Amino acid sequence: MKKQSVVSSILWLAIAEIFFNFSGYVIHAFLGRMLGPADYGRYGLIVTLTTMIIMLIGNGIPTAMSKYISGFFEKQPGLVLNVKKKAAFLQFFLIGFITIIFFLLAPVLSFLLRDPTLTPLFRISSLIIPSFAAASFYLYFYIGIHRFNLQSTLKIVRSFAKIFFIIGLAYFFGLKGSVIGYILSPATVFLTAFFIDWLFIDRQFPKDNQEVFDWKKLINYAWPVTLFMIFYELLISLDLYLVKGVLANDHLTGIYNASLTVGRIPYYLFYALTLVMLPSISRAITQNNHEEAKRIMTQTFRLMFMILVPIIILMVVYATPLIQLFFGSRYADSALPMQILAPGVGFLTIFYIISFALNGAGKVKIPMYVALFGMILNAGLNYVMISRFGISGSAAATSIVSVIITLIILLYAFQYFGSFVEIKKILKILLAGIAMFLASYFFPPQKWIFILWGAILSGVYLFALIILKEFTKNDFDFFKKIIFKKS
């Protein structure tokens, strides 16, 4: 099987993430206008909770499968189908159990959210769990065998399926139709992936193999990763549910959901890095090459920080027109909480990437415990600050907790990988960011034209990096290679 280069992998995954996240924002923009703030807030509650469950509980075993397959698919191809079969067996029973429990608990969830009309919608949304899980299983399998191009293509297919089903059914059937559309879009991806595997991929690996893989390894790796994802997703989503529970106001819930949706842009943009880092770090540690692992961490952190800084600045400066671009003038009150959230989401993005690097190195319990601490702290701080300051208090609480847990995970990562943060380079990037922020006073936020202002300010930031000798010819060649070179 032809090996795909890291640069090509990043390119494919980046393209897929752009399509996928663009489709998500298209959907949110249409639904925000189509459903109105109240029903849009209810949609956010239902879909966020259901997808949160599957992305956390349902992705643990596929992540473990991807890790182990990536370690031996070239040298021990006979184990690939063995691992996949055992992972599929475990996943089937886990997801079936979770789906039934979620369906039965729908009235309890509605009671906790003080809205009994959510019960039938929660019951319908329970079908999102098996549909999403089946699609994700194949996506992680293709990552494990380093078929990033195929994985990315499937994600692009899902992007178009989401737009077609969710917006189309919402247009005819309202809120209930949008939830059903969320079931059908991943189901389309699963069927496509299943037939590709059956017709092409499956026959590339030997079936009659004497080597046996111990399924307990999947469980031992999956459970702390699963708990990490549960704690992390609760950490970043509890604020929305506490806004609903404490304020009991659908309109404000919808306003805050809009803030979260736009504010999480940095996190979604960098999600692809975790898909490349986990197998890369895992391979380096397996080969006892700690210098290579540290090199990957150093390059990744610098690249991530260099791109995060201007994105966060632009989101803070142009929050109002950005919110109006996605959701319209009815959501103007979302701008202030989003400005408060944006820096916090930047720290959360760093926390998530570093956590997955530690997961790839086998240190799965450290991120789990830090995420648990962050979840508990965020719940308590959100409750206090929502009661006093409303939705802006919730945004502030989440940002404060984000800074704290990011500093903690960095300390743990330094202990394991060594110091991969080059302070001098970070200071130069921050100076370029300050120059960009000061320049923004000459380009005030205005509808539509803020896009042009953003491009100009990005140029100011890049120019400052060049003057400070932080963006060099090597960086230019690297980005050129990503954009133009296929392998």
Q: Find out whether 59 and 359 touch, Cβ atoms under 8 Å.
A: no
Length of the chain: 487
Q: Find out whether 65 and 218 touch, Cβ atoms under 8 Å.
A: yes
**Helices (runs of H) and strands (runs of E) counted in the chain:** 18, 0
- Please check whether residues 323 and 370 belong to one and the same domain: yes
In a domain, 347, yes or no: yes
Q: What is the pLDDT of residue 177?
A: 93
- Please check whether residues 309 and 413 belong to one and the same domain: yes
Q: 96: pLDDT confidence band, cut at 50, 70 and 90?
A: very high
Q: Above 70 in pLDDT, residue 316? A: yes
- Please check whether residues 144 and 196 belong to one and the same domain: yes
Q: What is the pLDDT of residue 274?
A: 64
At 429, list the tokens.
């990037």
Which percentage of the chain shows pLDDT scores above 90? Answer: 28
If 0-12 CB within 10 Å is exposed, 13-18 middle and 19+ buried, where does residue 454 land? buried
Q: Find out whether 161 and 219 touch, Cβ atoms under 8 Å.
A: no
Whole-number Cα distances in Å, 29 to 150, 186, 261, 317, 391: 28, 20, 10, 20, 21
Q: What is the pLDDT of residue 2?
A: 44
Q: 480: pLDDT confidence band, cut at 50, 70 and 90?
A: low
379-383: list long-range contacts, CB under 8 Å, 24+ apart: 379/234, 379/238, 379/242, 382/238, 382/239, 382/242, 383/242, 383/246
Whole-number Cα distances in Å, 167 to 16, 177, 331, 350: 20, 8, 20, 32
Q: Above 90 in pLDDT, residue 396? A: yes
| Mean pLDDT (whole number) for 406-425 | 86
In a domain, 398, yes or no: yes
- Please check whether residues 71 and 177 belong to one and the same domain: yes
Q: Tens digits of per-residue pLDDT, 16-42?
A: 777 777 787 788 888 888 888 888 888
Q: Above 60 in pLDDT, residue 4? A: no
- Please check whether residues 162 and 284 belong to one and the same domain: no
- Please check whether residues 10 and 99 belong to one and the same domain: yes
Q: What is the pLDDT of residue 210?
A: 57
In a domain, 150, yes or no: yes
- Please check whether residues 336 and 410 belong to one and the same domain: yes
Q: 481: pLDDT confidence band, cut at 50, 70 and 90?
A: low
- Please check whether residues 230 and 203 belong to one and the same domain: no
Q: What is the pLDDT of residue 283?
A: 64
Give the Cα separation of 167 and 477 in Å (integer). Answer: 41
Which percentage of the chain shows pLDDT scores above 70? Answer: 88
Number of domains in the chain: 2
- List, as one string, the DSSP characters of 130-170: HHHHHHHHHHHHHHHTT-HHHHHHHHHHHHHHHIIIIIHHH
Whole-number Cα distances in Å, 50 to 31, 271, 356, 410: 18, 20, 23, 30
- Please check whether residues 360 and 394 belong to one and the same domain: yes
| Mean pLDDT (whole number) for 97-105 | 93
In a domain, 388, yes or no: yes
- Please check whether residues 99 and 174 belong to one and the same domain: yes
Q: 478: pLDDT confidence band, cut at 50, 70 and 90?
A: low
Q: Above 80 in pLDDT, residue 107? A: yes
End position of a domain, from candidates 164, 185, 213: 213
Sign of torsion, CA 242 244 249 254? Answer: positive
- Please check whether residues 162 and 255 belong to one and the same domain: no
In a domain, 124, yes or no: yes
In a domain, 375, yes or no: yes
If 0-12 CB within 10 Å is exposed, 13-18 middle and 19+ buried, where does residue 410 land? middle
Q: Spell out the residues 6+ positions from residue 245 whose beta carbon is closer than 8 angstroms to its own.
A: 112, 113, 114
- Please check whether residues 274 and 317 belong to one and the same domain: yes
Enclosing domain of residue 90: 1-213
Q: Above 80 in pLDDT, residue 71? A: no
In a domain, 481, yes or no: no
Whole-number Cα distances in Å, 9 to 63, 107, 272, 279, 361: 17, 44, 10, 12, 20
End position of a domain, from candidates 189, 213, 237: 213
In a domain, 23, yes or no: yes
Q: What is the pLDDT of residue 102?
A: 92
Q: 438: pLDDT confidence band, cut at 50, 70 and 90?
A: very high
Using the structure block, give the residue that is written with the tokens 């890291």: 6
Q: What is the pLDDT of residue 485?
A: 44
Q: What is the pLDDT of residue 244?
A: 80
Q: 81: pLDDT confidence band, cut at 50, 70 and 90?
A: confident
| Mean pLDDT (whole number) for 375-390 | 91
Whole-number Cα distances in Å, 36 to 174, 245, 254, 320: 11, 20, 8, 18
If you average pLDDT over every residue of the chain, what do you get?
A: 83
End position of a domain, from candidates 367, 387, 421: 421
Q: What is the pLDDT of residue 183?
A: 93
| Mean pLDDT (whole number) for 91-113 | 91
Q: Find out whether 404 and 377 touch, Cβ atoms under 8 Å.
A: yes
Q: Which residue did the predictor score with more confidence, 188 or 71? A: 188
